[in-house]
Chain A
Amino acid sequence: MFALGIVYWLFNRPLDITEDFLDAKFKKLPEIAKSNKAALKAGYNYALTVELLPSSYQVKAAELPKGKYRSISGNVATAWGLMAASENTELELFLGSYPITPATDILHELSKHKNFNVVAFQAEDEIAGICSAIGASFAGSLAVTTTSGPGLALKGEAIGLAMMTELPLVIVNVQRGGPSTGLPTKTEQSDLLQAVYGRNGESPVIVIAASTPSNCFDYAYMAAKLALEHMTPVILLTDGFIANGAEPWRIKNVEDMPAIAPQKATEKEDWQPYKRDLEKLSRSWVVPGTKNMEHRIGGLEKDFDSGNVSYVPSNHEEMVKVRAEKVKRVANFIPDIEVKGAEEGDLLIIGWGGTNGSLLTAFNELKQTNNKVGYVHFNYINPLPKNTASVLSNYKNILVCELNSGQFIKILQTEVPQFNYTQYNKVQGLPFNKTELLNAFNNILEA
């Protein structure tokens, strides 16, 4: 407390926030509250009286849009985003999950809010976590499973089942240092390739990534929307850094979030289990309990028209193609990427996921002396936003910065092969720092 008082003096802040905190925390032990407050004040006054340091600091109020704010961490924001989607669709939220660092807090948060018709089921293992969610999806819930890297590996076969039966499912992977057990409490973004490719067979799923603690809310909501509207699994990638990190969040109004239209069908006429919406190629969601629409779904290949099990060679190819095309068409429903800084020039900095804070800080500094650099941060990984190629075409150099050995760069090299890419990587279980990023940017610019 004494040391904290000194820090308060150092930064010229009023003590009331901590005093109020102590009064609330020790409401039943007023003597303890009193002693802690005395120690706090003593530290502050000590620093003041002895003029402890030559100067103190004034941190200016941040320039933020007007509104009502709260502090929020990524994991809590993820939970609340899912709850918002559940409330707006009036679908019961089902979480099937197993504790794993650093994702467990999502399970904790949802377990607190049963009164919102949230079933937070702690399963016996990772596979039961996702499988119970798949069962709940089949039965008509907004179904979610949460995990980290090792859990995503375990869930692979089940994600394939959800993809093959075209059920809505959200899988949240809060990435941590890998591989294997890795560094559970350190941050990394090395599960991207696993998310995009990690299943047997041709098994594309939607992959999106949050980039700040507070936009975990928006991307969790979006993951639910995409899963429900396109009838396919969505993997939402976050990471330990933004999951545990917190920042001020201008509180959103749940009613202002985008509308979500689940694909439930209740009319038998002209219906087959895998009959598709012509624009999205998604099938309809008919849940048990719906009269006269009994049908069977499963992991075996099925006939394009009837949905019955089929081994016909040409049918299999047709089904593989339509499942892939369904995911590709999601590009028609996601926003374009937006460039910060120069819209054409010498260098385009690319990042994705939880590195936004570091990259933006470094970029903003570089921007002050160089007006030929742009920065794009990706939140939509698969499919990529439609304007990706046209944006990338405007720069002489492209630098992909990732906390892994180069994964998103491989996606870009495959999907947008017409450009040359360079990379800056760090795999130390730490976020980027401004200095190393500026060095990396300048190395390209000076070459």
Chain B
Amino acid sequence: MMENLVEEKLTHKDFVSDQDIKWCPGCGDYAILKAVQKALPQIGKKKEDIVFVSGIGCSSRFPYYVESYGFHTIHGRAPAIATGVKLSNPNLSVWQITGDGDALAIGGNHFIHALRRNVDINVLLFNNEIYGLTKGQFSPTSKTGIKTKSSPQGTVDRSFNPGKLALGAGANFFARVIDIDPKRMIEVLLAAEEHQGTSLVEILQNCVIFNDKVFANVTDKAVKLDMQLWLGHGKPMIFGKENNKGLILNEFELEVVTIGENGITEDDILVHDAHCQNDILHNMLVNMSAPEFPVAFGVIRSIEAKPFEQNVWEQIEDSKNSAKFNSVNELLNSGVTWEI
């Protein structure tokens, strides 16, 4: 077989599978799929080295629609399966597709351990604050009081903030994006792949049938410039229709100020440091919620540490230097033996 001298350039079309997409018309997942298919040709990996692992949920039908290796597994367990894939073949680019129920309810345990271990996988968490596939029960991220089929009088549960939980579990990379902002989503997906270690991307996704417009107070055209703060490493935390709102630190809390009022200048505005080891400010940013604060988007935290599978394999390679036995036969014949 002749090798191509020129490496075939992949396009997003190479990642479109032949399956009919079954998501509801208007579902936010379509946009996410397209953004992922556009990002994949840019990550510098061979098509055969890309794997999608999903759990259960509308989100988790994703692998069937991407023309790559894919594994649709069981509810909540994708991080464990993805860890096995990555440990077995660290050369693969492993993407885990999950949802707010799959990752934070049944999958909560595996979620925190994947983050703790820092396995080099990209976790895309489609957060629509509802259980879509099972038709409309509340999820761990649903806002308190939401009336659903399993909470007709409204929930009394507190909800998780996925970013806060992730940082608590030791996440080295956390980013937040919106399904209807594909350009920024692609940038973040590329940053996630580039980052070595568990890269968690929370995608605010609209479930048009069971929780329509749940993020409208942040994503609606009328409010989005005032309700979204897109962070960039090294850039000041400025937002607003007139780009004149910003964040400062008032003692131990964040405060929204207006540049030009009360003597505030651009120099007073906090500059985002995504690479700061200390996660105190990242925690504050991740916790911001409308309407008192804008919601923080973009790459909120990105610090580097050797990923889990590299450490595991380094230990394995090291052990070969001091190996007592060079074959299983040698092992079997070692220790106390006797002849009859």
For B31-64 the 0/1 string (1 means CB < 8 A from A) is 0000000000000001111111100000000011
A residues in contact with B322, CB < 8 Å = 115
Tell me whether B80 and A132 are in contact (CB under 8 A).
yes
Q: Which residue from chain B places its CB closest to the CB of A257 in the assembled complex?
A: B328
* B333 beta carbon closer than 8 Å to chain A: yes
Contact of B316 among A119, A139, A299, A308 (CB under 8 A): A119
* A158 beta carbon closer than 8 Å to chain B: yes
User: With A and B bound together, what is the CA distance between A96 and B315 in angstroms?
Assistant: 17
Q: Which residue from chain B places its CB closest to the CB of A287 in the assembled complex?
A: B89
Q: Which residue from chain A places its CB closest to the CB of B316 in the assembled complex?
A: A114
* B151 beta carbon closer than 8 Å to chain A: no
A residues in contact with B312, CB < 8 Å = 119, 121
* A125 beta carbon closer than 8 Å to chain B: yes
- B291-332 CB contacts (< 8 Å) to partner A: 312, 315-316, 319-320, 322-323, 325, 327-329, 331-332
- B64-99 CB contacts (< 8 Å) to partner A: 64, 67-74, 77, 80-89, 91-92
Q: Contacts A132-B83, A135-B81; is A299 near B72 (CB within 8 Å)?
A: yes
For A122-159 the 0/1 string (1 means CB < 8 A from B) is 01110110011111111111010000000000000110
Q: Which residue from chain A places its CB closest to the CB of B318 in the assembled complex?
A: A114
Tell me whether B333 and A68 are in contact (CB under 8 A).
yes
Tell me whether A135 and B323 are in contact (CB under 8 A).
no
Tell me whether B85 and A289 are in contact (CB under 8 A).
no
Q: Contacts A125-B109, A134-B84, A296-B69; is A161 near B74 (CB within 8 Å)?
A: yes
* B250 beta carbon closer than 8 Å to chain A: no
User: With A and B bound together, what is the CA distance between A118 and B87 in angstroms?
Assistant: 11
Counting chain A CB atoms within 10 Å of each CB, the highest count among B81, B89, B110, B322 belongs to: B81
Q: Which of A51-59, A247-255, A356-364 contacts B (4 or more CB under 8 A)?
A: A247-255
Tell me whether B328 and A128 are in contact (CB under 8 A).
no
Tell me whether B328 and A69 are in contact (CB under 8 A).
no
A residues in contact with B85, CB < 8 Å = 135-136, 138-139, 288
Q: Which of A6-14, A79-87, A371-379 contacts B (4 or more CB under 8 A)?
A: A79-87
Q: Which residue from chain A places its CB closest to the CB of B69 in the assembled complex?
A: A288
B residues in contact with A165, CB < 8 Å = 71
Q: Contacts A288-B69, A298-B72; is A123 near B80 (CB within 8 Å)?
A: yes
Counting chain B CB atoms within 10 Å of each CB, the highest count among A71, A84, A124, A308 belongs to: A124
Tell me whether A127 and B80 are in contact (CB under 8 A).
yes
User: With A and B bound together, what is the CA distance between A71 and B334 in angstroms?
Assistant: 11
Tell me whether A115 and B316 are in contact (CB under 8 A).
yes
A residues in contact with B83, CB < 8 Å = 121, 128, 132, 135
The minimal Cβ–Cβ distance linking A111 to chain B, given in whole angstroms, is: 10
The minimal Cβ–Cβ distance linking A425 to chain B, given in whole angstroms, is: 36
Q: Which residue from chain A places its CB closest to the CB of B49 in the assembled complex?
A: A289
A residues in contact with B91, CB < 8 Å = 289
* A28 beta carbon closer than 8 Å to chain B: no
Q: Which residue from chain A places its CB closest to the CB of B82 in the assembled complex?
A: A135
Tell me whether B63 and A64 are in contact (CB under 8 A).
no
Tell me whether B81 and A138 are in contact (CB under 8 A).
yes
* B252 beta carbon closer than 8 Å to chain A: no
* B2 beta carbon closer than 8 Å to chain A: no
* B340 beta carbon closer than 8 Å to chain A: yes
Tell me whether A288 and B73 are in contact (CB under 8 A).
no
* B113 beta carbon closer than 8 Å to chain A: yes
Tell me whether A65 and B340 are in contact (CB under 8 A).
yes
Tell me whether A251 and B332 are in contact (CB under 8 A).
yes
A residues in contact with B333, CB < 8 Å = 68, 70, 251
User: With A and B bound together, what is the CA distance between A23 and B1 in angstroms?
Assistant: 63
* A66 beta carbon closer than 8 Å to chain B: yes
B residues in contact with A285, CB < 8 Å = none
A residues in contact with B339, CB < 8 Å = 66-69
* B262 beta carbon closer than 8 Å to chain A: no
* A113 beta carbon closer than 8 Å to chain B: yes
User: With A and B bound together, what is the CA distance between A30 and B73 in angstroms?
Assistant: 58
Tell me whether A255 and B84 are in contact (CB under 8 A).
no
Q: Which residue from chain B places its CB closest to the CB of A63 in the assembled complex?
A: B340
* A94 beta carbon closer than 8 Å to chain B: yes
Tell me whether B328 and A84 are in contact (CB under 8 A).
yes
Contact of A298 among B51, B64, B113, B327 (CB under 8 A): B64
- A308-325 CB contacts (< 8 Å) to partner B: 308-309
Tell me whether A298 and B73 are in contact (CB under 8 A).
yes
The minimal Cβ–Cβ distance linking A225 to chain B, given in whole angstroms, is: 15
- B256-286 CB contacts (< 8 Å) to partner A: none
* A290 beta carbon closer than 8 Å to chain B: yes
A residues in contact with B53, CB < 8 Å = 135
- A64-112 CB contacts (< 8 Å) to partner B: 64-71, 80, 83-84, 87, 92, 94, 96
User: With A and B bound together, what is the CA distance between A289 and B45 in angstroms?
Assistant: 11
Tell me whether B315 and A114 are in contact (CB under 8 A).
yes
A residues in contact with B74, CB < 8 Å = 131, 157-158, 161, 299
* B5 beta carbon closer than 8 Å to chain A: no
For B97-128 the 0/1 string (1 means CB < 8 A from A) is 00000000000011001000000000000000
A residues in contact with B134, CB < 8 Å = none
The minimal Cβ–Cβ distance linking A380 to chain B, given in whole angstroms, is: 25
User: With A and B bound together, what is the CA distance between A111 and B237 in angstroms?
Assistant: 48
User: With A and B bound together, what is the CA distance between A71 and B339 in angstroms?
Assistant: 12
* B289 beta carbon closer than 8 Å to chain A: no
Tell me whether A138 and B71 are in contact (CB under 8 A).
yes
Tell me whether B49 and A131 are in contact (CB under 8 A).
no
User: With A and B bound together, what is the CA distance between A136 and B92 in angstroms?
Assistant: 12
User: With A and B bound together, what is the CA distance between A290 and B70 in angstroms?
Assistant: 13
B residues in contact with A60, CB < 8 Å = none
Tell me whether B109 and A288 are in contact (CB under 8 A).
no
A residues in contact with B81, CB < 8 Å = 131-132, 134-135, 138
User: With A and B bound together, what is the CA distance between A295 and B67 in angstroms?
Assistant: 7
User: With A and B bound together, what is the CA distance between A94 and B51 in angstroms?
Assistant: 19
User: With A and B bound together, what is the CA distance between A114 and B91 in angstroms?
Assistant: 19
Contact of B88 among A136, A293, A297, A308 (CB under 8 A): A136
For A199-235 the 0/1 string (1 means CB < 8 A from B) is 0000000000000000000000000000000000000
Counting chain B CB atoms within 10 Å of each CB, the highest count among A65, A66, A252, A287 belongs to: A287
The minimal Cβ–Cβ distance linking A271 to chain B, given in whole angstroms, is: 14
User: With A and B bound together, what is the CA distance between A83 and B323 in angstroms?
Assistant: 15
Q: Contacts A68-B333, A289-B48, A309-B64; is A94 near B72 (CB within 8 Å)?
A: no
Q: Contacts A115-B320, A119-B316, A251-B332; is A288 near B87 (CB within 8 Å)?
A: no
User: With A and B bound together, what is the CA distance between A252 and B91 in angstroms?
Assistant: 36
| 6 other A-B residue contacts (CB within 8 Å) besides A68-B333, A118-B316 | A69-B340, A119-B312, A124-B109, A131-B81, A143-B88, A288-B48
Chain B residues packing against A (C-beta within 8 Å): 17, 19, 46-53, 63-64, 67-74, 77, 80-89, 91-92, 109-110, 113, 312, 315-316, 319-320, 322-323, 325, 327-329, 331-333, 335-340
* 12 A-B pairs in the complex with CB atoms less than 8 angstroms apart: A68-B337, A70-B333, A96-B84, A114-B315, A115-B316, A139-B92, A141-B88, A251-B332, A291-B46, A297-B71, A297-B72, A298-B70
7 nearest CB pairs, A to B: A135-B84, A298-B72, A132-B84, A131-B80, A139-B88, A296-B70, A115-B323
